Amino acid sequence: MTEFFIFCNLKVFWYPDLPNGRIKLLNFYPISSRNPDALIFLLLNMPVQIIVGAQWGDEGKGKIVDLLSAKADIVARYQGGANAGHTVVIGGEKFVLHLIPSGILQPNTMCVIGNGVVIDPAALLHEIEMLKKQGIQVEGRLLLSQRAHLVMPYHQLLDQSKEADEMQKKIGTTGRGIGPAYVDKAHRLGIRLIDLLDAETLREKIGLNLQEKNAILSAVYGKTPLEAEAILQDYRQFAAQIKPYVADTSHYLHQAMAENKTIICEGAQGSLLDVDFGTYPYVTSSTPTSGGACTGLGIGPKKIDTVMGVIKAYTTRVGMGPFPTEIHDELGEQLRALGYEYGATTGRPRRCGWFDAVVANYAAQINGIDSWALTKLDVLDTFAEIKLCVAYRYRGKELKSFPAEIHVLENCEPVYETFSGWQQSTANVRTFEELPAAAQKYLNAVQQITRVPIQIVSVGSDREQTILR
């Protein structure tokens, strides 16, 4: 190992005998806001990197993870469940993933589903089948945490019944049973993958759960009680198919880190859907922010080298809840049509709006974001004017931080800076310098306001349609 200094205040350790000549550095953060180019060079050599969505999900994380995982040994998903939907296009072929990290599309990358994820075995097996049909090797390349909790049929029924109930607050969930599965985890009633593999424990836990769930389903929602035996039979079949993938994934990741392997920790959904920091109660029930990578994979915070935030060039949201920069007229519909903004999981039309730098700044703060990957710049290609929200005003005063009160957020007024559109295609541009001047100006404004450098710009859904700075 050699130790030396480059870029003024940066201390770098070089391990020439490791694959890819990996480097490890100290004093990383101070340089990040001053010298983006140095940062980019270094980011591609970071052993443990977290990728988070910095808006309300659907930022295009799947494409970014797919791209970066070409250089990664492992991609590890840390939270959420089959509520997520990643669409990745490779050479015109479309892959839709819900649970399995998009790293599976790179032939030499291992994929991990961590303990923080809730797994619907039927959805997982369906996804494995789809991938196999599309010629992707899954066996031997996917590991599932034995501590991950299962999504059960009663979770889905409870989720859907609650959403359909006029008396309850509608969140606009995906109906995949995610909230109730995390409720059971916290309530210590959950069934983990390790329990699935033990027939007697599985029987006992399903019985215990059904006593409670059937009472709620019939008394509160007027549903027919579920049969324990039918669920047991289905889940025993799932167990047999899933068993080869189950492992102690925290241990596996620790071994990989000891060997200095490159790991991408992939978050699902987005920071504003985080159960603690999102627009509560209009959130998902897990921790998409970067802290979730530690608890959801079983790795310590000191092992994380860098955090990349994924932002879309504009903003979208699915489901209910405040959205200050939402566009309610035909411009919003134009964005939806051009960006094909429909949920990959539910097909629901996404609400569309302008880029919100208040949200991006907040996401940078709660995640510790070092760099951005900005996606779907090409969707703005035809607009004559583009707006960027730089602040919120509430009752005549500018807010200093992102409000926790939902009624404040619902009633705050976005303060916009307006940029000229570039009105030419960026789909075939491959360097930042070749981008139209107006597009460069817009991206520079995003960097300046958020004080985070943009490392990747995506100008189309294909892997090739990417600008690496």
How many residues belong to the site for ligand IMP (CB under 6 A)? 20
List, in sequence order, the alpha helices (H) in 168-227: 178-186, 193-196, 199-219
CB of 156 to ligand IMP, least distance (A): 10
Q: Which is nearer to ligand IMP, 284 or 375 (CB)?
A: 284
Question: Does the protein bind ligand IMP through residue 318 (CB under 6 A)?
Answer: yes
Both tokens of 111, joined, read 């994929």
Interaction mask 268-307, ligand IMP, x per CB under 6 A: xx---x--------x-xx----------------------
Do the beta carbons of residue 283 and residue 270 sit within 8 Å?
no
Q: Which is nearer to ligand IMP, 321 or 453 (CB)?
A: 321
Question: Does the protein bind ligand IMP through residue 250 (CB under 6 A)?
Answer: no
Do the beta carbons of residue 267 and residue 295 sit within 8 Å?
no
Tell me the C-alpha distance between 364 and 371, whole Å: 9
Q: Is 5 exposed, middle or buried (0-12, 13-18, 19+ CB in 10 A)?
A: exposed
Identity of the residue numbered 6: I
CB of 431 to ligand IMP, least distance (A): 31
Among the listed ranges 128-136, 170-178, 288-296, 458-466, the one in contact with ligand IMP (CB under 6 A) is 170-178
Question: Does the protein bind ligand IMP through residue 174 (CB under 6 A)?
Answer: yes
Interaction mask 81-120, ligand IMP, x per CB under 6 A: --xxx-----------------------------------
CB of 356 to ligand IMP, least distance (A): 15
Both tokens of 335, joined, read 């964005």
CB of 76 to ligand IMP, least distance (A): 17
CB of 359 to ligand IMP, least distance (A): 14
DSSP letter at 187 equals T
One of 178, 191, 206, 456 touching ligand IMP (CB under 6 A): 178
Tell me the C-alpha distance between 4 and 12, whole Å: 6
251 assigned to active site: no
58 assigned to active site: yes
Tell me the C-alpha distance between 465 and 457, whole Å: 9
Name beta bridge partners: 351.
Answer: 317
One of 97, 111, 142, 171 touching ligand IMP (CB under 6 A): 171
194-233: which residues touch ligand IMP (CB under 6 A)?
A: none
Considering only CA atoms, which of 314, 300, 139, 158 is closest in space to residue 226? 158
CB of 199 to ligand IMP, least distance (A): 30
CB of 175 to ligand IMP, least distance (A): 7
Question: Does the protein bind ligand IMP through residue 173 (CB under 6 A)?
Answer: yes
Q: Kindly give the interhelix angle for 178-186 and 153-164, rounded to the nearest 10 degrees.
A: 120
388-427: which residues touch ligand IMP (CB under 6 A)?
A: none
Tell me the C-alpha distance between 78 and 230, whole Å: 30
CB of 22 to ligand IMP, least distance (A): 32
One of 162, 176, 336, 376 touching ligand IMP (CB under 6 A): 176
Question: Does the protein bind ligand IMP through residue 57 (CB under 6 A)?
Answer: yes
Q: How many CA atoms within 13 Å lie on the side-chain side of 319?
A: 24
Considering only CA atoms, which of 86, 68, 73, 70 is closest in space to residue 268? 86
DSSP reduced 3-state for 177: coil
Q: Which of 86, 98, 149, 155 is catalytic?
A: 86
Sign, Cα dihedral of 361, 35, 456, 105: negative
Tell me the C-alpha distance between 48 and 257, whole Å: 8
Question: Does the protein bind ligand IMP through residue 63 (CB under 6 A)?
Answer: no
Tell me the C-alpha distance between 166 and 184, whole Å: 24
Q: Which is nearer to ligand IMP, 46 or 171 (CB)?
A: 171
Tell me the C-alpha distance between 173 and 344, whole Å: 14
Do the beta carbons of residue 406 and residue 400 sit within 8 Å?
no
Among the listed ranges 136-144, 175-183, 230-238, 290-298, the one in contact with ligand IMP (CB under 6 A) is 175-183
Q: Catalytic amino acids?
A: 58, 86
Contact residues for ligand IMP, defined by CB under 6 A: 57-58, 83-85, 171-174, 176, 178-179, 268-269, 273, 282, 284-285, 318-319
